[in-house]
Homo-oligomer: A and B are copies of this chain.
Amino acid sequence: MNQSMVLTGDRPTGQLHLGHYVGSLTQRLTLQNQYPLFVLIADTQVLNNDVIKGSHVKENILSLMRSYLACGLDPQKVIFILQSRVPALFELTQYLSNLVSLSLVMRNPTIKTENKLYNDNEQLNMGFLNYPIAQTADVILFGANLVPVGEDQVPILQFANDVIDKFHYQFNTSMFKTIEPLLSHYPRLIGIDGVNKMAKSLNNAIFLFDDEKSLKEKINKMYTDPGHIRVSDPGQVQGNVVFSFLDVFMRDKQHLEALKEHYKKGGLGDVTLKKLLFEEINIILKPIKEKEFAYSDKELLDILQSGTSYANIIAQDNMEKIRDVIFR
């Protein structure tokens, strides 16, 4: 258990989009060559905010696996895990819940934030309150200690470390590694509306498997500077959605700076800029789309099942040790 291991994952809520690519998938492509990498498809977590979301989980799991492999995650290196098929995760979550007070959960900033985003008009449900505990179990059951997160998600890991501390103290052990964040260098990608972060539910996403026609249409919808009417007019770069995207996707940063100066002075048209953005994004998406159907549904499920079986061996072994500590 001394080697560093990475655990990360996604909820199977729909197709992956450019926000995922920038925020996590590129990082995973690097990580798979540096550490043992577990990628957990969090299908039971999907039910936390809305049980009815269970209705598309099967197709969303396939969609995730298809995206992962198309992006270049290597099934020889990455251990893909289907959360609902690791029984010890449920068991460990229940044991850990005995160590966690309601007030500790309520203080968790992620619970506060997500509650605001999704549940404002609903009553808090127990599944939602249990979810940071379940996330802690996700990490420690497999012996992982590194978790890729954005700055805003660091409190989740602090919560997990609090739970680990309580476990260690309560059972006089030091069996779990401290969890450390692998901070993502990218802020969350904005959506094509230029207002909210990119999210399927907000209808502002560019999906990894969008065809070129859709990609063009979406880029054409982006706001630039409403005052920039004729090509010759000076334009605003600040708050200009196309430039926000170019900031992320344009590889030649020097050229980008020159374009910004040109745009501010006037004489650079939105159509030219949008064409450029299309090309920069298409360079990323084209090879991904070419691999969209490299694996059949059955092959994708086989890879997921094989990873899950391997993960279950680790999980059962660790769960045995955890039970021995609890029921000593």
- Decide if A95 is an interface residue (CB 8 Å cutoff): yes
Min CB–CB distance A128 → chain B (angstroms) = 8
A326–B54 CA distance with the chains assembled, in angstroms: 6
- For A46, the closest partner residue in chain B by CB is B327
Does A51 contact B98, Cβ atoms closer than 8 Å?
yes
- Decide if A123 is an interface residue (CB 8 Å cutoff): yes
Contacts of A95 in B (CB 8 A): 44, 47, 51, 127
Contacts of A327 in B (CB 8 A): 43, 54-55, 57-58, 84
Contacts of A123 in B (CB 8 A): 101-103
Q: Mark A210-251, 1 if CB is under 8 A from B, else 0.
A: 000000000000000000000000000000000000000000
Contacts of A34 in B (CB 8 A): none
Does A124 contact B102, Cβ atoms closer than 8 Å?
yes
Q: CB within 8 A of A98: which of B47, B102, B323, B328?
A: B47
If A47-B326, A103-B123 touch, whether A130 touches B57 (CB-CB below 8 Å) is no
Per the CB 8 Å criterion, the residue count for chain A at the interface is 42
Does A48 contact B98, Cβ atoms closer than 8 Å?
yes
Contacts of A48 in B (CB 8 A): 98
Q: CB within 8 A of A129: which of B91, B126, B170?
A: B126
Does A101 contact B130, Cβ atoms closer than 8 Å?
no
Interface positions of A from 175 to 226, Cβ below 8 Å from B: none
Contacts of A93 in B (CB 8 A): 90, 94
Interface positions of A from 271 to 328, Cβ below 8 Å from B: 323, 326-328
If A90-B93, A126-B130 touch, whether A54 touches B328 (CB-CB below 8 Å) is yes
- Decide if A117 is an interface residue (CB 8 Å cutoff): no
Min CB–CB distance A313 → chain B (angstroms) = 15
Contacts of A44 in B (CB 8 A): 94-95
- For A326, the closest partner residue in chain B by CB is B54
Contacts of A133 in B (CB 8 A): 126
Does A124 contact B97, Cβ atoms closer than 8 Å?
no
- Decide if A140 is an interface residue (CB 8 Å cutoff): no
Q: Mark A95-126, 1 if CB is under 8 A from B, else 0.
A: 10111111101000000000000000001111
Task: List, sorted by A's number, 8 A–B pairs whose CB atoms are closer than 8 Å.
Answer: A47-B98, A55-B328, A57-B327, A84-B91, A93-B94, A98-B127, A100-B127, A102-B129
